[in-house]
A and B are shown apart, each in its own frame.
Chain A
Amino acid sequence: MTMVEEALFILHRTIAFGTPLLLGTLGEIVAERAGILNLGVEGMMSVGAVVAFGVSLYTGNAWLGVLIAAISVGLLSLIHSFASINLRANQVVSGLALTMLGLGISGLLGKSFVGRTPGGTIEPLDLPVLEDIPYLGKVIFNQDLLVYISLGIAVFTWLVIWKTRIGLNIRVSGENPAAADVSGINVYRIRHLAVFYGGMLAGMAGAYLSLAYIPAWTEGLTGGRGWIVIGLTIFAFWSPLRAIICSYLFGLFYVLPYSLQPLGIHVSLLQSMPYLFTIIALLAISRESIRKRMGSPGALGKSYVREEI
């Protein structure tokens, strides 16, 4: 492979690696914009991966797998929203519990899936003309449909948050729930919906991992991506469009270890890159974020209690 070919290959894989991160981050952005911190992403992704794999295994239809994964994980995430919204539970602990539960459920459901290949997988598209565009064609137009869908969802999420009434309601609920309540917004309902949306996207992210990224199910498939998503949400300043760039940047950190291996650095050290860069990224933005409070929802992580009797 020439240098250029290798660079193009790296960029191509970067987008694939970044896609589950993007989907998860978009979901977390919406939930956090509404004021709910959901640390359950790692568990939700894992359940999404196993459900999508199972549906594809038994029906042969990968897209049905993606759909059912999204819906079932959306429903699963309501456990967290019910506990943290209605029962006013501590959101950090409730989210951690959801992750443990999700990892347990996926282990139990996936026990017979280990080592099998799914009935249907999500394959890269053949786009005859676009694919032949020099350089760009191979990188951008040789991806699978879910990559384009995730980009569509990013734009859609941005539009909803910034250009629609419901987006305004989400932002007010996360910024100042009491004011939202006074102005007639049903804060609880908005927050439940936002968490559900986040759950659906985490489910899709999981489906991407088990059907497109590496079509297989193994335990620990998510490998900490759900936690990286929590960091990316902050790194992207809760903006769906910035989330695209940030997710692909972190996708690159997942790809580079394989390309840098010939340099003689141990692969384990290289594989700690995404985690180290998450720390560095959070540190780099910390000071500015205090000064400008860029996008951080004011009531994030706090239960809203309507009235005290």
Chain B
Amino acid sequence: MTGLRQAIPRITVRRRKQPLTSRESLTLILASVAAGIFLGGLLFSLAGVNPLYAYGKILQGSFGSIQGWKEILRKAIPLIMAGAGLAIAFRAVFWNIGAEGQMLAGATGATWVALNFTTAPGYILIPAMFAVGFVMGAALCIIPALLKSKFSVNEVIITLMLNYVALQIVTFLIDGPWKGETQHGYPYTDPFVQGARIPRIPGTFIHYPTLIIAVLASIGLFYFMKRTKAGYEIKVTGSSPKAARYAGISYARTLVMVAIISGGLAGMAGVGEVAGIHGKLLYPEYVSAGYGFTAIIVAWLARLHPAGVIASGIFMSGILVGGDAMRIRVPLSSVNIFTGLILLMLVSTEIFRTYEIKFSREDVP
């Protein structure tokens, strides 16, 4: 018995004395992503799809070609924009799962501007659309923030339910009052006038003004969190609401602030989709298109670091684009296998940040 016990290395788990270095942290993130992608391939092979084929297709269709990069940058725009906001919300432990609905709210606001002020010049129209989109997204997100801070209603459920409400309202608008007269009965609005369309890099769908706003927002939020009193208050509220209250930080105000930031940015992401890509309001599935959910992983992958969202947004966009490339063989939704597993691996390896696991042969007293 004792011989056997000595042969097996003793495993000790103890709380880390120092946090991981940034290099260790990055290694852990990359290892989690790799594990998620490996397990995803395993599931594909169980379903009869050769995982090497899947990986090859994903790479070829995304990071491995010019066409792929064009698509990646296009889809990274809403992911970076919404992801940067979510990173701030999650820092305050405000679980905004409603970016999907907030994007729709923003898109609806922009559409209202585009359909009603057709004669205004583009340099007024487009900023106005972004502003109204921001306000609409923020307004939808303030509801759960107020309900949580005033009545302790769970924000996860409220934000999720509002996604469905927003979806139904958009469906109603495009099939009812806003149904286009030139669309032959299809449930779309009329196309936006030229002045209400966000310019794109020729030959691509990259609506670069939105991309610039998204990147500036992430960098701006990085400094906001690092340098300002409000950013500090968000961090304190997130790590301990009680400590925040003793320090005189208003819980309600902090939550409303992160709701405005995250909802507003998601709203602007929605503006980019209708005014930069589609040029009209159409089925909600095509407007928010799951970006609001993928943005959760984008934020988490960046470890809630608003500037890191730029890199993680491009990476997750690559996964989405690669999934698109596989669409002939497998349904589009199966890309969720990869996103789900990557998120699962990321959250499961958090434990290595607080604990260290040591294997040793000698007995530790």
* Chain A residues engaging chain B, CB cutoff 8 angstroms: 39, 43, 79, 83, 87-90, 92-94, 96-111, 219, 224, 227-228, 230-231, 234, 266, 268-269, 271-272, 275-276, 278-279, 282-283, 286-287, 289-290, 308-309
Within the complex, which residue of A99, A100, A271 is in contact with B168, where a contact is CB–CB below 8 Å?
A: A271
With A96-B97, A275-B161 known as contacts, the answer to whether A107 contacts B15 (CB < 8 A) is no
Interface pairs A-B: 8 shortest CB-CB: A104-B336, A107-B333, A101-B340, A100-B340, A104-B337, A272-B168, A97-B343, A286-B151
Residue pair A101, B157 in contact (C-beta under 8 Å): no
Write the nearest CB–CB distance from A29 to chain B, whole angstroms: 15
Residue pair B161, A266 in contact (C-beta under 8 Å): no
Within the complex, which residue of A109, A111, A283 is in contact with B153, where a contact is CB–CB below 8 Å?
A: A283
- 10 extra interface residue pairs, beta carbon distance < 8 Å, beyond A268-B168, A272-B169: A83-B348, A89-B347, A101-B336, A101-B344, A102-B340, A230-B160, A269-B169, A272-B168, A279-B161, A309-B12
With A89-B348, A107-B336, A309-B13 known as contacts, the answer to whether A231 contacts B157 (CB < 8 A) is yes
Contact residues of B between 48 and 102, Cβ < 8 Å to A: 49, 95, 97
Q: How far is it, in angstroms, between the C-alpha of A101 and the C-alpha of B349 when the chains are bound?
A: 17
Could you list 5 examples of A-B contacts with CB < 8 Å? A89-B348, A107-B331, A107-B332, A234-B154, A286-B151
Residue pair B350, A89 in contact (C-beta under 8 Å): yes
**Which label, helix, strand, loop or mixed, suits the secondary structure of the A interface?**
helix
With A92-B95, A278-B157 known as contacts, the answer to whether A272 contacts B165 (CB < 8 A) is yes
Interface size on B, residues (CB 8 A): 51
Q: Is B193 on the interface with A (CB-CB < 8 A)?
A: no
Write the nearest CB–CB distance from B157 to chain A, whole angstroms: 5
Q: Is B216 on the interface with A (CB-CB < 8 A)?
A: no
Chain B residues in 8 Å Cβ range of A279: 157-158, 161-162
Q: How far is it, in angstroms, between the C-alpha of A231 and the C-alpha of B159 when the chains are bound?
A: 12
Chain A residues in 8 Å Cβ range of B176: 266, 268
Q: Is B156 on the interface with A (CB-CB < 8 A)?
A: yes
Within the complex, which residue of A96, A105, A271 is in contact with B296, where a contact is CB–CB below 8 Å?
A: A96
Write the nearest CB–CB distance from A304 to chain B, whole angstroms: 14
Chain B residues in 8 Å Cβ range of A290: 151-152
Within the complex, which residue of A88, A96, A227 is in contact with B343, where a contact is CB–CB below 8 Å?
A: A96
Within the complex, which residue of A96, A266, A283 is in contact with B151, where a contact is CB–CB below 8 Å?
A: A283
Chain A residues in 8 Å Cβ range of B171: 268
Chain A residues in 8 Å Cβ range of B12: 309
With A104-B340, A309-B15 known as contacts, the answer to whether A224 contacts B168 (CB < 8 A) is no
Residue pair A276, B165 in contact (C-beta under 8 Å): yes
Chain A residues in 8 Å Cβ range of B115: none
Q: Is B232 on the interface with A (CB-CB < 8 A)?
A: no
Q: How far is it, in angstroms, between the C-alpha of A275 and the C-alpha of B158 when the chains are bound?
A: 9
Q: Is B277 on the interface with A (CB-CB < 8 A)?
A: no
Residue pair B153, A286 in contact (C-beta under 8 Å): yes
Chain A residues in 8 Å Cβ range of B341: 97, 101
Write the nearest CB–CB distance from A228 to chain B, whole angstroms: 8
Write the nearest CB–CB distance from B212 to chain A, whole angstroms: 30
Chain B residues in 8 Å Cβ range of A102: 340
Chain B residues in 8 Å Cβ range of A231: 157, 161
